[in-house]
Structure 1
Amino acid sequence: MKQPSDHDTDYMAAAGCFCLASRQAARKITRLYDSHMQGSGVRVTQFTILSQLMLRGEMPIGKLAGLLGMERTTLSRNLTLLEDKGWISISAGEDPRARMIAITAQGRGLVRRGFPHWSKAQAHIGKLLGADGQAALKLLGSRNLG
């Protein structure tokens, strides 16, 4: 089977890569949330982990990683920081290999103090995205794309 030559391939199509655009957008959105969160003493990535634990209660690290759409190793690095600050506790589950993650009273206080900052960021980004952008983002986040 003959491979296409470079002059037959339109590599400029990669300039419109959806993966690249989504990563750029995610980084910009995170920076915007963080700018709003500055006065709260917590970054939006930390706030997201803490708020989910506050809403859903103690859970194994694997379940939390799935809920957040994060790799376990990335989440583990974040959790170590949160534990060092006293915002979460990590303990062995019924299965000693399973680590259970729970928010502490200090972590709950941080979520309460951070919520107004997060809320302003959410409204700002919601306005930038518009109704269609919000719906598309939520749909892509909830859909299995495989």
Structure 2
Amino acid sequence: MTEDHAPTTPPDPTPAPPPVEDPSERSLWRPLRLLQDAIEADIARVYAEAPVEGLRSSFVLELLRLHARGPMTITELAESVRRTHSALSQKVAAMRRAGWVETLPGEDARSKKVALTPKAREVVGRLAAEWEATEAALAELEAELPYPLSRVVEDVERALARRSFHDRITARLAQDPRWH
């Protein structure tokens, strides 16, 4: 057969299914998360321009806390920065690999203390300066807003103290047949 006389395929009589609605296209809080990511990227850029070699901006809180309070166990450090032990253990491992912290023997054979290295102690003043400059920039930004984000956070925390986010989600899921 030549191309001019190729057999044609009859059209499929089955209609295409309608497109599925993607619930992830709607999000009230994703813009907030994206805003936080953009601000964090700007802070990371400050460190890249400085430069402070090998420093992640996500390490700064823990490094400043260790500088202010001295060596702590991972549990103590996690509690002081309101993170889980598991998350902080991973972060401490990354900070240790980067040379910012070291672990020292604790009060008993099972515990270890996390302490700043000399490398970290050399730059902790710069870290404090960045932290304070960031807080001042945030205060300046909030002064430009009709309703400061810090106030929104306080209001959300109060509302969640009255009824947890977990309880709010599970109440809605209890009414949704797709969940069961």
TM-score (norm 2): 0.58
Structure 2 unmatched ranges of 5 or more: 1-21, 165-180
Matches within 5 A, 1:32-111: 32-38=42-48, 39-41=50-52, 42-111=55-124
Question: Letter of the aligned partner of 1:33 in structure 2?
Answer: I
Divergent runs of 4+, >4 A: 140-146
Out of 126, 131, 149, the residue aligned to residue 133 of structure 1 is 149
User: Are the counterparts in 2 of residues 32 and 121 from structure 1 also a CA contact under 8 Å?
Assistant: no
State the Cα RMSD in Å. Answer: 3.3
Identity of aligned residues (%): 21
Structure 1 unmatched ranges of 5 or more: 1-10
Post-superposition Cα deviations, 1:66-99, rounded to whole Å, max 9, x if no partner, equal 2222232222222122223332121232233333
**Cα–Cα, structure 1 residues 142 and 105, in superposed 2: closer, same or farther, change >3 Å?**
farther
Asked if 1:25 corresponds to 2:25, the answer is: no
Residues paired across the two proteins, number: 135
User: Offset at 1:54?
Assistant: 0.5
1:108 counterpart SS class: helix
What residue is the counterpart of 1:15 in the other structure?
26
**Using the alignment, how far apart are the partners of 1:123 and 1:53 within structure 2?**
22
**Using the alignment, how far apart are the partners of 1:141 and 1:61 within structure 2?**
29
Post-superposition Cα deviations, 1:30-54, rounded to whole Å, max 9, x if no partner, equal 2222122221412221111100111
**Using the alignment, how far apart are the partners of 1:76 and 1:142 within structure 2?**
27
For CA contacts below 8 A with separation 6 or more, give which structure has more relative contact order: 1
**Cα–Cα, structure 1 residues 79 and 140, in superposed 2: closer, same or farther, change >3 Å?**
farther
Larger helix fraction of residues:
1
**Using the alignment, how far apart are the partners of 1:135 and 1:111 within structure 2?**
30
TM-score (norm 1): 0.69
User: Are the counterparts in 1 of residues 64 and 127 from structure 2 also a CA contact under 8 Å?
Assistant: no
1:59 counterpart SS class: coil
**Using the alignment, how far apart are the partners of 2:90 and 2:26 within structure 1?**
33
**Using the alignment, how far apart are the partners of 2:106 and 2:156 within structure 1?**
29
User: Are the counterparts in 2 of residues 61 and 101 from structure 1 also a CA contact under 8 Å?
Assistant: yes
**Cα–Cα, structure 1 residues 65 and 49, in superposed 2: closer, same or farther, change >3 Å?**
same
Which entry has the higher C-alpha Rg, 1 or 2? 2
